[in-house]
Structures are given as structure tokens and as C-alpha cells.
Amino acid sequence: MPNIAIPIDSEIIGEMFLRAGPKADISDWIENVVRDYLERTADDEWSDAYYAYRKSQVGAVDFAAEFGDPKGGYHWAPLFLPNGTLIRMEYKKEVSGAAVKNNKIEFKGEYYSPSELARVIASGTSRNAWRDLLIKRPGDTDWCLADDLRRRMTK
């Protein structure tokens, strides 16, 4: 989707640069803060249009029945992966997919930590989950490497 510009008080932007340094990606930081807010407040009272949009994102499947409480999820410090987050990894040209359901990472009916998931997908070989797992949270339009998400959260 195309980006749009939203005016923000220059003092706020200046404070952000002072805290994070001159090379910080402030727009990315702001986007992550807004996404986090939207994820945390997904079940608050919103418009009918929002609920229609959300239903269209999961199709005919009832979100809560499939993934659990929309406010819940899996904590992989510093990341929070809300219920409904999709996780995938390619190993030997085969793509495997998992999902965060009921506050756990589920893969083929079993539950794993991110490092266990990467190891299971890679047939027991040692892996770095931050560098192997791609993440797509509810509302995300693109897949993102877990390590990139982590770096954005720690800026």
C-alpha cells in the first residue's frame, strides 16, 4: 500500500531523534507504535466497518474459534506475536507454516517455542529462529523476518 504523510509536532520528532540517535528510522518506529496500539485495542468498541474489514481478513472462519482471544498471543521478547500471527520458514526449498493460536505457536498440531519450531522444520539441525522465521501478524500486509521486527522494536 502507498505511504501517506501525517503531520506530527516537530518537538516530538526531535525528542525521538534525541532518544534513538540521528540514524533512527522514525517513521518505522511510529508505524510500529501505531500497529501495537491497534493490535492491543482490536476488541475495543470500533465502527461496524472495522468489524466487517476484520471478518474479511479471516474469511468465513471465526477468529476467536480458530486462533483464540484477539488480545492474546505469544511473547517472544521483545516481540509480541498476537493470536492469528502466521509464521513460515523455508528449508530445503520447502515452505512450512505455523500460527499463533491460543497464546502458543502451533505447528502440525504440536506447540513449540520459536527456536524449537525452527529446529523441527529443519529436521533437528541447529537454527537461529530470528534469522529463519518470517512473521506476518494480523493486519500486516507483508512477511517480515523476525530479526528485522526485533531490531525495529529495540530502536
**Residue 41, domain member (yes or no):** yes
Kindly state the average pLDDT of the residues 75-92. Answer: 93
Q: Which range marks the domain in which residue 103 is found?
A: 10-153
Tell whether 139 is covered by a domain.
yes
Domain count for the chain, please give it.
1
| pLDDT at residue 56 is higher than 60 | yes
Would 3 be classed as within a structural domain? no
* pLDDT tens string 69-81: 888 899 998 999 9
120 within domain boundaries: yes
In a domain, 17, yes or no: yes
Say yes or no to pLDDT of 43 above 80.
no
Give the burial class of 26: count Cβ atoms within 10 A of its Cβ; 0-12 exposed, 13-18 middle, 19 or more buried. middle
Asked whether residue 74 is assigned to any structural domain, the reply reads yes
CB 131 within 8 A of CB 147: yes
Q: Which has the closest alpha carbon to 128: 111, 102, 150?
A: 150
Is residue 1 in some structural domain? no
Q: Sign of the C-alpha dihedral, residues 16, 11, 5, 44?
A: positive
